[in-house]
A and B are shown apart, each in its own frame.
Chain A
Amino acid sequence: MKRLQVPIEYKTLKNGLGVVIVPDPAAPVVTLGVYYKIGFRLEPQGRSGFAHLFEHMMFQGSENAAKMQHIKLINSSGGVLNGSTMYDVTNYYEAVPSNALERVLWLEADRMRALKVDDENLKNQRDVVKEEVRVNVMNQPYGGFPWLDMPPVAFRNWANSHNFYGDFVDLDAASLADVQSFFRTYYLPNNAVLLMLGDVTPEDGFAVAEKYFGGIPAGAPPPFADPTEPPQKEERRGHVEEKFGTLPAMAIGYVMPARRTPDWFAMAMLDQALHGGRAGRIHRELVLEKQVAVEADGGIDDIFGYNGPTQMSTRILHKPEYSSEQTLAAFDAVLRDVREKGIAANELEEIKVKWRSDYYSTLEGGRGGYMPRYGLMHLLACFTLFDKEPALVNSILDGFLSVTREDIQRVADKYLKPENRAIVFRTPVSKTVKEAA
């Protein structure tokens, strides 16, 4: 068995900025990222969707690079760029020919030092974000299902339960003062990590990191609201109308154990037994064998990328001739079996091989064809911000590969129980209502 080991160099600058470098000269391309330890989970109350709106504002101009220059400078260097807002982190990333390394660092440092945006930029991006929400959620069949539908049903702490894309009322209420205050609070070198992967040597990489970021002053450590959930004692259920889709749908989510605990490793393997594609028990039973469902998949979304309450969830679109309760009964039968009997020895061995293979692809894999090593960057960033230990990328696999059948049965029994779950039913509005609309 060939084990992949990534060469990782890690330093922290005096202002608290973490710098992680993974040299690989194979292609003259470098992937860069800056991750900030703030996501939509801990955005301000009354400002749902703000962390994401703010991410858009980071492309609207900084001290020495006016609106559009950021994008223009990266594209015209032969590179691509984007940003994304997640539960607990927000990232800004680029893949460029390696001769553009310093240019990208200058740009990222410029916007870490000072944002320069105005009301017109904010109005423009508020409009853009509303169309983003419409195209991804409000105007699509099953838009936002279940990632936006599940939190308000499953969780009680506002941090975990609010609308992460944002209520339009809240987006409209966001002001320039909110933008600058959020920036001052969270966008600090001591709340961030810089990553460089590919055609860069550690020596050069650390030198240019110091050159461009070293002079950015640290700030007071940001306050973080407590995302802890009160203990759940009963199954929770909610209902959402499906405006476009033709099939009834449901999502079932089970709260996960805390990350990097023995139970967490075991749940990840159990998740593969349940959701591992067409070989997974849920798809096999519901779609291939009982043929109750048209789609049945799911899992632990971005398992390495969260730092607070989350779920393992299943998303099912089922045939209209089966009721919700019949479908749920078929799902429950799959879970009952694994809680009572655990999984087979060969099944666990197969899952481990597939997990290792998938893990390598995650590390190499891009976001689209043009963003190599996005996954490696993401894991390094999260392990640095959450654990101060990027080298976990090379060792974390061991925790998964040493899970035993007994571990699986223990966590199945402990976590896959009704009082640990929430269910959202997303039901098509009746045809007559739709046609009258």
Chain B
Amino acid sequence: MATVVTAEYSNMVPALAPERAVTWPKRTKTRLANGMEVVLAESHSIPKFHGELYFRAGNALVSGRAPGLAEMTATVVRTGTAKRTSRQIEEDLRRLGADLGSSAGQDNSGISFAGLSEFAEPILELVNELARDAAFPEAEFERERRQKLEEVKLERTSPGFLAGERLRKVLFGAHPYGIVSPSEAQVAAYRREDLLETYREIYAPENALLLLVGDFEPAAMLKSIEKIFGNWQGKKPAAKESAVPPRPQGRRVYLVHNPGSVQTQILAGVHAITRKHPDWVRLGLTNSLYGGAFNSRLVMNIREDKGYTYSPRSGVSALRQHGYFTVSAAVRNDVVAASLTEMFYELDKLRSLPVPAAELADAQNYVAGIFSMGLATQDGLLSQLSTVELNELPADYLETYREKVRSITSGEMLSTARKYFDSPNMQIVVVGERAQIEEQARLFGPTEVFDAQGNKLE
């Protein structure tokens, strides 16, 4: 038996008291005449507020021009507007007690911010200026481009990056999700005009979602928002067809040779589902029991029983168009094969045997319980509202989630595992010192070897 045998609890363990009801705060949801969606929620834990101004398009939309272009655009957005220089922007933020970040992923671009409630209006004015009147000063662009060049060189020295990059290539191929970061040559070829074009395309009110959580009065806040953002005009970009990702069949191994490694990063993955899929909550619970919690089978097995790793985990990554399931751990070099064996053992066990009732109840309590932790902080609540709104989930998603989790049966877990823990077709990436791990890796399937730059090695 690979799992730890657990004794019955001591009868001294205090029982849980009756649960206090979880009440989600009321959300004020509107759409301005220009198409911008606005969602507001009160949270008075501290005299501050947290916000996100999202645009529902990111790197994937503009990947035909260059990978990472939306991200580079977002980086330069904060470096100047028609009215303020880069330095003024940073000093204004400090004066208003505010933090601000601008970034883009595959599916969204966004400006995230937080600040003192007493300065909510000037902070929103600055956000508005960045979203509408960014100037993309030539010198700022040039500096950020050079910075990015150093960053893309540097990220290739991180085992986690190399593993994630290879898996995405394998799972998504020519689909824009197949590239997580631009090459040096692609960064070198970025032009200011490309950024401007991307900015004009993505940063438009019809494409925007403004979320605010914090210490404010919603009616007054909505008035400020209308005043600040109301006269902005712009259409959302046309949707774009993306290539169909491959569905790799059969286990294959991708070894990324990272000279000098004293440990091996394992990352295995397979296609799964997006958050909109009706199986999402069931898959979340099944994942939690497999390797998504401290008290999960994978952690018990390869960490607490065998001591192979500090950092085992599994998860479901959901992008807008596709989702995928992964399991990962950084392990001692001599137990790469042993770790993979246990990872698959635990997957296959969930695909073969029903989860015992007590273990199912424990997992349900865990997933339902931590879901309400977000209530207690402004940014926790903001992150949950972001998930709901960006994925266009039902309005009662927060209110009904815990109930859904608690109604899942052992039989549903089994069929969920069979469907998505597709162990025969998992794609395996290992990043480490080739000489120490290649023999172990080859036990798990046809193996290709790459260097850290992505070149195939013989």
Q: Which residues of A contact B (CB under 8 A)?
A: 1-2, 4, 24, 26-29, 64-69, 71-81, 95-103, 106, 123-132, 134-135, 138-141, 198-199, 243-247, 276-279, 284, 287-288, 291, 294, 317, 319, 346, 349-351, 353-354, 356-358, 360-361, 363-366, 369-373, 434-435, 437
Kindly state the separation between the CA atoms of A349 and B92 in the bound complex, as whole angstroms. 12
Per the bound structure, the CA–CA distance linking A129 and B47 in Å amounts to 40
Beyond A131-B307, A131-B332, 12 additional pairs, beta carbon < 8 A: A65-B13, A71-B294, A76-B361, A78-B369, A79-B366, A131-B310, A135-B310, A247-B150, A279-B94, A353-B94, A358-B97, A373-B377
Chain B: residues with CB nearer than 8 A to chain A? 4, 6-7, 9-10, 12-22, 44-48, 86-87, 90-91, 93-99, 114-118, 143, 146-147, 150-151, 153-154, 157-159, 215, 258-263, 265, 293-295, 300, 303-311, 330-332, 361-363, 365-366, 368-370, 372-380, 383
For residue B44, which residue of chain A has the nearest CB? A26
23 A-B contact pairs sorted by A residue (CB < 8 Å): A68-B6, A68-B295, A69-B6, A99-B19, A100-B16, A103-B14, A106-B12, A128-B303, A131-B308, A131-B309, A132-B310, A139-B265, A140-B158, A198-B376, A279-B94, A284-B87, A353-B97, A356-B116, A360-B116, A361-B48, A369-B373, A369-B383, A372-B373
Q: Which one, B20, B147, B304, contacts A99 given CB within 8 A? A: B20
Q: Does A28 lie within 8 Å of B20, measured CB to CB?
A: yes
Q: Are A135 and B146 in contact (CB under 8 A)?
A: no
| B48, A360: Cβ atoms closer than 8 Å | yes
Selected from B307, B311, B368, B372, the residue in CB contact (under 8 A) with A29 is B372
Kindly identify which residue among B14, B16, B146, B303 contacts A291, using a CB–CB cutoff of 8 Å: B146
Decide if A75 touches B22 in the complex (CB within 8 Å).
no
Judging by beta carbons under 8 Å apart, are B379 and A369 in contact? yes
Contact between chains at B118 and A26 (CB < 8 Å): no
Given the known interface contacts A103-B13, A357-B48, the answer about A131 and B293 at a Cβ–Cβ threshold of 8 Å is no
Given known A103-B14, A140-B159, A369-B380, contact A27–B375 (CB-CB < 8 A)? yes
Cα–Cα, bound, A435→B453 (Å): 13
Residues from chain A with Cβ under 8 Å of B366 in the complex:
75-76, 78-79
Measured CB to CB, the closest approach of chain B to A427, in angstroms, equals 14
Say whether, besides A28-B372, A353-B97, A134 and B330 are in contact (CB < 8 Å). Answer: yes
> How many angstroms from the CA of A101 to the CA of B215 in the assembled complex?
28
A127 and B4 contacting across the interface, CB-CB below 8 Å = no
- Chain A residue nearest to B362 (CB atoms) is A76
Q: Which residues of B have CB within 8 Å of A291?
A: 143, 146
Q: How far is it, in angstroms, between the C-alpha of A373 and the C-alpha of B375 when the chains are bound?
A: 12
For B383, the closest partner residue in chain A by CB is A369
Count chain A CB atoms within 10 A of each CB in B12, B45, B374, B378 and give the residue with the most: B45
B261 contacts which chain A residues (CB < 8 A)?
139
Q: Which residues of A contact B93 (CB under 8 A)?
A: 279
Which 4 pairs show the lowest CB-CB distances between chains A and B?
A78-B369, A357-B97, A127-B307, A76-B362
CB distance from B28 to the nearest CB of A (A): 19
> Smallest distance from the beta carbon of A269 to chain B beta carbons, Å?
12
**How far is B377's CA from A124's CA once the two chains are assembled, in angstroms?**
36
**B307 partner, pick from A97, A124, A350, A360, beta carbons under 8 A:** A124
Asked if residues A135 and B22 are in contact (CB atoms below 8 Å), the reply is: no
- The listed residue with most A CB atoms (<10 A of its CB), out of B10, B153, B373, B380, is B373
CB within 8 A of B19: which of A28, A126, A278?
A28
List chain A residues, Cβ under 8 A from B258.
244
Task: Give the nearest-CB partner of B382 in chain A.
Answer: A369
A42 CB to closest chain B CB, in angstroms?
25
Among A4, A27, A67, A246, the most chain B Cβ lie within 10 Å of the Cβ of A27
Checking A78, A124, A141, A247 against B365 with a beta-carbon cut-off of 8 angstroms, the contacting residue is A78
B10–A64 CB distance below 8 A:
yes
Q: How far is the CA of A199 from the CA of B373 in the complex (A)?
A: 12
Q: Is the CB of B20 within 8 A of A199?
A: yes
Given contacts A128-B309, A129-B310, A244-B157, contact A27 B376 (CB under 8 A): yes
